[in-house]
Structure 1
Amino acid sequence: MQCRMCGYEFDEKIVGKSCQGCGKKECQTVHCPNCGYGNSPEYEKEFKFIGSLKEKLKIKREKK
């Protein structure tokens, strides 16, 4: 996983789900060991999808 705040890459399986203060029963937040930012793994798929859409639009725009 790459931290969206500082860009540090780390293995979320080693760090583990470390959120302790939000009160959610099943919080999936993984805090970056470098800066402490809370990254949500459930948003990873959405960010990848948006990134792929941006690339497709960029390619279409370049072809014109």
Structure 2
Amino acid sequence: FGGGPGAKAETFVERGGQKIPLRSKQQFPLSRGDRLIVRTGGGGGYGPAAERDAELADRDRLDGFDSNPG
């Protein structure tokens, strides 16, 4: 559809400043103070980002989405 590459999903635990990656379907006991981070994969979009309306791209950036064509 002309978009860029999508992002892969990742799940990890932050424990004592260390980043511990988790596999799919894995049991991992959490401790007090651990931080579970889940990043879902994203699609690559539709069409070249450089051709997007500038106002819509600015709005997406303000909402935390990356519309950077680079």
Both structures adopt the same fold (TM-score exceeding 0.5) = no
Structure with more relative contact order (C-alpha pairs < 8 Å, separation 6 or more): 2
- TM-score (ref. length: structure 1): 0.27
Higher strand share: 2
- TM-score (ref. length: structure 2): 0.26
